[in-house]
Structure 1
Amino acid sequence: MNSQFRSQSDYKDMQSIQSFHEPALQILNQLIERNKINLRNKGYDENNAAITKEEFAQTMAYRFRVTQWNAQQVITSLSNAGQVETFGGYVKPKAGDQ
């Protein structure tokens, strides 16, 4: 256990949030692909596809059966780990991670 955690429960909380990283990235990639198809069909640049943090959190909360707060924690954790880009109210995978 690292010295940055005040107690064992903090460490367990961080572990449980990080356990959602891989499935969350899969969901994000599915949502991004859907938006890319929509942009392509309308004649726009598909590289501009992004998902709102709210939609991403709602989808995760529904599929993982967790609260909205936990889903937001996963988004924050993904951002801090450098696995997603966040800008404004939007999120998308890092350029090389798709």
Structure 2
Amino acid sequence: MNDRPAKPPNLNHVDWIEKKHDEAMEMFLEIYSAMRANLIAKNRPVDNAAVRRKDWREYMQWQFHIGWEIAEQIEQSLSRAGKIKLFGGYAVPVMDQEEGNEA
């Protein structure tokens, strides 16, 4: 049994992840728009548009020069903030119910 107290999170790391929210959402919405455009071109319902989480994490890794663990932490942080909805290997933006726009 481990009697040591849990290590508190590194606040600098948490702040850095939260600072990347806007940039990560811009990337996410860019990929999401491309997925929607692809479905429109194929004459399929755009409600089925979703972003492959793996593709988005790879894009964040390349753009931010970070490892996959940090990209995953950004992804999870956005999910906890209620900006995206994760399901399986895909993610979609959370829509404003009142306006019908991405939050």
Fold shared by both chains (TM-score > 0.5): yes
Displacement after TM superposition at 1:69 (Å):
1.1
Superimposed CA distance per residue, residues 17-74 of structure 1 (whole angstroms, 9 cap, x where no aligned partner): 1111000000011001101110001110112110111111001111111111111110
TM-score (norm 2): 0.83
| Structure showing the higher helix proportion among its residues | 1
Counterparts of 1:69 and 1:44, CA distance in 2: 34
Tell me the equivalent position of 2:35.
35
Per the TM alignment, residue 6 of structure 1 is displaced from its structure 2 partner at its CA by 2.2
Alignment root-mean-square deviation, CA:
1.4
| Distance in 1 separating the partners of 2:52 and 2:71 | 13
Q: 2:56 aligns to what?
A: 56
Give percent identity, aligned residues only: 25
Partner residue, 2:8: 6
Tell me the distance in 1 between the aligned counterparts of 2:45 and 2:28.
19
TM-score by length of 1: 0.87
* Mapped partners of 1:87, 1:11: distance in 2: 28
Runs ≥4 residues deviating over 2 A: none
Find the aligned partners of 1:6 and 1:70 in 2 and give their Cα distance. 17
1:1-98 aligned at under 5 Å gives the runs 6=8, 10-96=10-96, 98=102
Partner-residue secondary structure (3-state), 2:92: strand
Determine which structure has greater relative contact order: mean sequence separation of CA pairs < 8 Å that are 6+ residues apart, divided by chain length: 1
